[in-house]
Amino acid sequence: MNDHRKLGRELDLFDTDPLMGSGLPYWLPDGAAIRHTLEEFIRGRERRAGYRHVYSPALGKRELYEISGHWAHYREDMFPPMELGSEQVVLRPSLCPHHALIFRSRPHSYRELPLRIAELGDMYRAELSGVLGGLSRVRAIRLNDAHVFCTPEQAADEAAAALELIREAHRALGVRPVRYRLSLPGGGGKYVADRALWERATALLTGVLERSGVPFEAVEGEAAFYGPKIDVQIADGAGRESTLSTVQVDFHQPERFGLHYTGPDGARHRPVMVHRSVIGSIERLVAHLIELYGGAFPAWLAPTQVVLLPVSEAELPQAARLRQRCLDLGLRAEVAGPEHGTLGARIRSARLAPYQAVVGAREAADGRVALRLRGGRRLDPLPAEEAWARIGALVAACSAELWPAGAGR
Ligand SMILES: [Zn+2]
C-alpha cells in the first residue's frame, strides 16, 4: 500500500520542519511542479465553465466572521484572533465571506447572473496536532473554491453544472470516488436554525443528485453550518474516507451579508450562493494522487516529464540542447549525465519519469532521440521535434496514455 507521507519524502515532493510547525508542510520543487500543474488545470476548466478568478486576503476582521456565522458556529476550528491595535484579525476558515463582500462591493443586475467567482485561496484550520500527518490533514489549506451568485431559479442548474464539472475533473485526474453523500444537519447547536431554509436547500440538492443519476446516500451530521452539501468522498489505501469535492446551496450567507441584485422588475432581490469545490484542497488531492499512482504520475502531472540520458560525456552538449528545447516547449525536462553513474543505473533511477530519451553518438549526429516509455517500452529513434510534439499533445490533453495508440513501435 502506498503511503503518501513516505512517498512524498522519498520522491522529494514535500516535507515538514518542526520549526515551521506540524500540519504546515512545505513543497519542494517537484511537489510544487505538480501543484502548479493542478492549479493551472483547474483554472482552465473553470474558465471554460464561465468562472472568473479573483484573489482575496487570507485574513479578515473578526467581525466579518461574526456576520458570516463562522464565529458562532465554527469557532473551535479557527485559529485564535490576533490583536492588531484596537482590532482583532483572524486567519480565515473559509473564502465565502470574502467572496460575499466582493459581490456586495458592486451593484448587480439580474442580467449578470449567474456570477461565478473562483479562487485558489489559502485558508486555515486549527486541527489538533494528533490528527496531522503529511498532506491529508493540514492547518494551512490551499482550496479550489468558488461561489456562484445566482437567482433562486438558477440555483439547481448551477449546482448540477458544478457536479458535472467535478465528475469531469475526476475523470481527467483518474480519481474514482467511493461514494456521493448528501450531507444533512444533525442535532446540537452547530447549525443555523431556520427549518424552511434547510428543507428548501435539501430538496434542491436531492433533485440535482437524482437528475445526475449517481447513487448517493443521505448522512446526518455532516452538513455545513449554513446548509446541506453534496460531498464526493474518496478513500485512502487503508479505506479511510475523506471529502474531496463538494457542492453546497446557501440561503443563509446572502441574507447575513444583505446581498442583492436588481431584478427585471427594478426591485431588489436576494441571490442564492452555490459554494463548490471541484478538486478540493490541493493538499488532500496531491496526497490522494501520490497514493493512487505510487509516484508514477501521468505525463501531464509528472514533476519531470522527460529525462535526457547522454550515453557518454560526448553527448552532454546535445542533451543540454534537447533539454532547453523541451523547456522552451513547456515540457519539464532534466539531464541525467554520466556523472550520475552507468546508463543502466541512470535508467533505473529515472524509472518514474514517463519518458527517457537516450542520446548516443548516432542520435546526437542526426537530431533523433531513442525514447523509452515508463515501464520499459522502447520506441524506434525518431526526430526529436516529432517526439516533443507528440508528448506535448498528450500532456495538453491530460492524457492517461504515454504514447498515442498505433504510433511508433
Ligand atoms: Zn463557500
Give tens-digit pLDDT for 104-158: 999 999 999 999 999 999 999 998 875 666 898 899 999 999 999 999 999 999 9
pLDDT digits (tens, 9 = 90+) for 255-310: 999 999 999 999 999 999 999 999 999 999 999 999 999 999 999 999 999 999 99
- Cα 32 to ligand 1 centre (Å): 25
- Cα 339 to ligand 1 centre (Å): 51
For the segment 341-364, the average pLDDT, to the nearest whole number, is: 93
- Cα 276 to ligand 1 centre (Å): 7
- Cα 246 to ligand 1 centre (Å): 10
CA distance 286 to 260: 38
- Cα 300 to ligand 1 centre (Å): 29
Which cell goes with 296? 508514477
Cβ-Cβ contacts under 8 Å for 342 (sequence gap 6 or more): none
Residue 133: predicted pLDDT:
66
Q: Estimate the share of the chain in helix, then strand, then coil, as percent rounded to the nearest 5.
A: 40, 25, 35
- CA dihedral sign, ordered 64, 70, 71, 77: negative
Q: How confident is the model at residue 407 (pLDDT cuts 50, 70, 90)?
A: low
Nearest alpha carbon to residue 205 among 187, 243, 232, 235: 232
Residue 401: helix, strand or coil by DSSP? coil
- Cα 145 to ligand 1 centre (Å): 7
- CA dihedral sign, ordered 183, 185, 187, 191: positive
Instruction: Respond yes or no on whether the N-terminal peptide bond of residue 303 is cis (omega within 30° of 0).
Output: no
- Cα 234 to ligand 1 centre (Å): 20
The yes-or-no verdict on residue 352 having pLDDT over 60 is yes
How confident is the prediction for the chain on average, in pLDDT? 94
- Cα 51 to ligand 1 centre (Å): 15
Give the global pTM.
0.94
Residue 130: predicted pLDDT:
56
Please give the span between the terminal C-alpha atoms of the chain, in angstroms, as a whole number. Answer: 33
- Cα 150 to ligand 1 centre (Å): 14
> In this structure, which amino acid lies at residue 199?
E
Alpha helices, DSSP H only, in 52-194? 62-68, 70-73, 96-104, 155-173
- Cα 277 to ligand 1 centre (Å): 9
- Cα 223 to ligand 1 centre (Å): 13
Q: How far is CA 177 from CA 7, 215, 239, 285, in A?
A: 22, 11, 12, 12
- Cα 346 to ligand 1 centre (Å): 47
Give yes or no for a contact between 346 and 316, defined as CB atoms under 8 angstroms apart: no
For the segment 89-98, the average pLDDT, to the nearest whole number, is: 97
- Cα 329 to ligand 1 centre (Å): 37
Q: What percent of the chain has pLDDT over 90?
A: 83
- Cα 15 to ligand 1 centre (Å): 29
Give yes or no for a contact between 378 and 372, defined as CB atoms under 8 angstroms apart: yes
CA distance 230 to 315: 56
The yes-or-no verdict on residue 160 having pLDDT over 90 is yes
Give yes or no for a contact between 169 and 45, defined as CB atoms under 8 angstroms apart: yes
Taking the mean position of all CA atoms in its chain, how far away is CA 245? 9
Cβ-Cβ contacts under 8 Å for 362 (sequence gap 6 or more): 368, 381
Residue 121: helix, strand or coil by DSSP? strand
Give yes or no for a contact between 290 and 4, defined as CB atoms under 8 angstroms apart: yes
- Cα 95 to ligand 1 centre (Å): 6
Q: How confident is the model at residue 187 (pLDDT cuts 50, 70, 90)?
A: confident
